[in-house]
Structure 1
Amino acid sequence: MNRTIRSRGSRRTVAAAAVGMAAVLLAAGCSSGSGGKKAQEDQNAATTGKATTARMKIAMVTHAPPGDTFWDIVRKGAQAAAAKDNVELVYSSDEKAADQANLIQNAIDQKVDGIAVTAAKPEAMKTVLAKAERAGIPVVGFNAGLDDWKDLGLQSYYGQDEKVAGEAFGNRLNEVGAKHTICVIQDQGHVALEARCAGVKKTFKGKAEILYVNGKDMPSVKSTIEAKLQQDTSIDYVATLGAPIALTAVQSAKDAGSKAKVATFDLNKELVDALKDGDVKFAVDQQPYLQGYLAVDGLWLYKNNGNFSGGGAEPVLTGPAFVDESNIDKIAAFAEKGTR
């Protein structure tokens, strides 16, 4: 079932791995050709994988809603890269597109050395990203905006092809014998979420419906899913687009007296037990830690070595990969420490 996805992803994985390797090599390169104490310090830094390059300031601006654990994982990855690369990381977020654009403008005003941005609603980003380009500030995209990153003038993109992920999800539903699924979108108009459900509907052979919920209000999410399951008892799978929504959907199904199973996109440490217990049947992991890490590391590499991840023409894909009871034990330790 996964071979095409994994084969395509493996080519992107090579690109992603090259980013990390180049970082170590560049640090080593910086240590050559100098003498004395400084040379030894540089050599020590290269050996430990830490950069000796000049201090940089990078702004990371996301559309993260308050309390969403997914973004904690993204931020940990970004912080790890910043610590390695001698980068001052300025992280900010706002789920409102207009306010996110204002945060990007703030970064431009601060004359940062680079910006990493999520473009969940690309139209709202166009004007301010053009300002960043005119100011000579390199910008990379990650997590959201795969179809728009080139049009927005971004140098590179790190993330999951949401359409491909959705199609793989739909195929997995076919394999487990699902007949009627609802795809729950917690933020209407969010391009990545809409693409996931569109992908599910494209390949799923049964009946697929979209259910919009208010992701800012988890009690409302629970009651909306519960009401839908009570209304239509033919629904046998609930597809959610985030781990917190998945765990809520599990409770909704129980309270509705429904036999519907739950599967989801994305992981967090709270989802581990649900996967082990079978309350959630499978999850699609897009590796958010890697997204945050590569976004910062990619800007550092561009600043210090002129590198473009993906050659500036192709995205670096970080997913999709399926996690279920067959492999959750291998991933659990990383999820528990908040890096998967």
Structure 2
Amino acid sequence: MKIRSSYRAGGLSALLIVVGTSVLVGATVSAQAETRDKWCKGVHLRFFVGGAEGDSFGTIVYNGAKQAERDLGPSVDYIFSGWDVEKMTQQLREAIAVKPDGIAMMGHPGDAALMPLAEEAAGAGIKMMYQNVPVPKVIARFGGGYIGAQVAQLGRALGAEVVKRAGLKAGDVAFMQGPFENENRGARERGTVAAMEQAGVQVIKINSQPGWAADPNLALPVITAALAKYPEVKAVGYGGGQMLGNVPAFMQAAGKKPGEIFNFGVDTSPQVVEGFKGGWIQLAADQQPFMQGYLPILSLCQQAVYRFTPISVDTGAGFVTPDNYGEIAKLAAGGVR
């Protein structure tokens, strides 16, 4: 076998001339022998689902993670937090103490809260991935990948889409509910408000209260009181799939009819699909939570077994509307969308 190499300015160009087909055939056979099922078997991971067991968004994330576990073969411990950022932080501290091979962590606590724990994980040799809410400062300092929508960009895109589809104009009034005080997680809702205010819409913020994400019915008194105080409101936005899926209950409690108010938010689920079907919901930004479950486990397995670098994927997929929700209805019923 002869190998000839040539060099050019600006880079290296290698020309390989292989004499004899047996070398190529042997290489092909060898490569095929390396492929195997359950190639991540023996790797121990901890995965943060984010919500409580059975909630609409968390269930889809969980389904994605379970599918990856079945496909790849790692041992995975699932952590449920009820969307409580303080609980998530404590659970991450406990997860690091167990010293698994890798942890897939929801980014809701934010850069400041997660930074010291990310440092501790790095010191212990634990691989980290983050999902749903980006933590760019943590990743820049201690590594890891991010699977989820770029929330600030998604929020702005959603606000602009609401203005267009709802026909809002300067002086119109809208509500936006969300965790505005959370530096990282609240970037999405702040982006939506900024885009709507840029169009001259008066946006009244409804700051999320503890427990709303886990049990949206806790928000009923606040939402209905706000609608009673501002009868001129034309659009209401919700900061997550749990809240968006509860729109029929909010509107019925306030004495509103389907389509009377333009209701919008983020995420799809069986409940959100039913909201579209009943005419209660007019727009949802889809961030594909199934991928936020599957891909972090895939990346942790790749890092642990093959020493690959972490992967990062923007899962923002566009918008679900009354015109296209039927395309994902069956997938939503199956816990995939």
Contact kept, 8 Å, 2:247 with 2:281, in 1: the verdict is no
Q: How does 1:21-32 map to 2 (within 5 A)?
A: none
Matched position secondary structure for 2:108:
coil
Q: Give 2:336's aligned residue.
A: 339
Structure 2 residue 322 is the aligned partner of structure 1 residue 325? yes
Matched position secondary structure for 2:186:
helix
Contact kept, 8 Å, 1:264 with 1:284, in 2: the verdict is yes
Contact kept, 8 Å, 1:250 with 1:262, in 2: the verdict is no
Q: How does 1:7-26 map to 2 (within 5 A)?
A: none
Contact kept, 8 Å, 1:141 with 1:149, in 2: the verdict is no
Deviation at 1:244, TM superposition (A): 2.8
Distance 1:97 1:219 in 2: 20
1:200 aligned to 167, 186, 192, which one?
192
Distance 1:65 1:260 in 2: 29
Matched position secondary structure for 1:319:
coil
Structure 2 residue 116 is the aligned partner of structure 1 residue 92? no
Contact kept, 8 Å, 1:213 with 1:224, in 2: the verdict is no
Distance 1:136 1:193, change over 3 A: closer
Amino acid at match of 2:146: Y
Deviation at 1:152, TM superposition (A): 5.5
Structure 2 residue 53 is the aligned partner of structure 1 residue 61? no
Distance 2:319 2:138 in 1: 26
TM-score by length of 1: 0.79
Percent identity between the two aligned chains: 22
Deviation at 1:98, TM superposition (A): 3.9
Q: Give 2:177's aligned residue.
A: 184
Q: Give 2:224's aligned residue.
A: 226
Displaced runs of 4 or more, over 6 A: none
Distance 1:173 1:296 in 2: 34
Q: Give 1:13's aligned residue.
A: none
Deviation at 1:192, TM superposition (A): 4.9
Distance 1:143 1:131, change over 3 A: same
Q: Which entry has the higher C-alpha Rg, 1 or 2?
A: 2
Q: Give 1:124's aligned residue.
A: 113
Contact kept, 8 Å, 1:213 with 1:220, in 2: the verdict is no
1:239 aligned to 234, 237, 240, which one?
237
Distance 1:96 1:82 in 2: 25
Distance 2:116 2:29 in 1: 42
Distance 2:146 2:94 in 1: 22
Distance 1:195 1:228, change over 3 A: same
Distance 1:255 1:102 in 2: 36
Q: Once the two structures are superposed, what CA deviation does each residue of 1:211-263 show, in whole Å capped at 9, x if it has no partner?
A: 12430553331121111011001211111122331243333233323432211
Q: How does 1:126-165 map to 2 (within 5 A)?
A: 126-151=115-140, 153-165=142-154
Distance 1:56 1:292 in 2: 17
Amino acid at match of 1:61: F
Matched position secondary structure for 1:173:
helix
Structure 2 residue 110 is the aligned partner of structure 1 residue 115? no
Deviation at 1:53, TM superposition (A): 4.6
Q: Give 1:8's aligned residue.
A: none
Structure 2 residue 283 is the aligned partner of structure 1 residue 285? no
Deviation at 1:65, TM superposition (A): 4.4
132-141 or 272-281: bigger deviation: 272-281
TM-score by length of 2: 0.80
Q: Give 2:60's aligned residue.
A: 73
Structure 2 residue 277 is the aligned partner of structure 1 residue 276? yes
Q: Once the two structures are superposed, what CA deviation does each residue of 1:312-331 show, in whole Å capped at 9, x if it has no partner?
A: xxx41000410112221211
Contact kept, 8 Å, 1:121 with 1:189, in 2: the verdict is no
167-176 or 145-154: bigger deviation: 145-154
Query: RMSD of the alignment, in Å?
Result: 2.4
Distance 1:132 1:199 in 2: 31
Structure 1 gaps of 5+ residues are 1-30
Distance 1:131 1:265, change over 3 A: same
Distance 1:118 1:34, change over 3 A: closer
Q: How does 1:35-50 map to 2 (within 5 A)?
A: 45=36, 50=37
Deviation at 1:81, TM superposition (A): 0.9
Equivalenced residues, count: 295
237-246 or 330-339: bigger deviation: 237-246
Matched position secondary structure for 2:38:
coil
90-99 or 161-170: bigger deviation: 90-99
Contact kept, 8 Å, 1:272 with 1:332, in 2: the verdict is yes
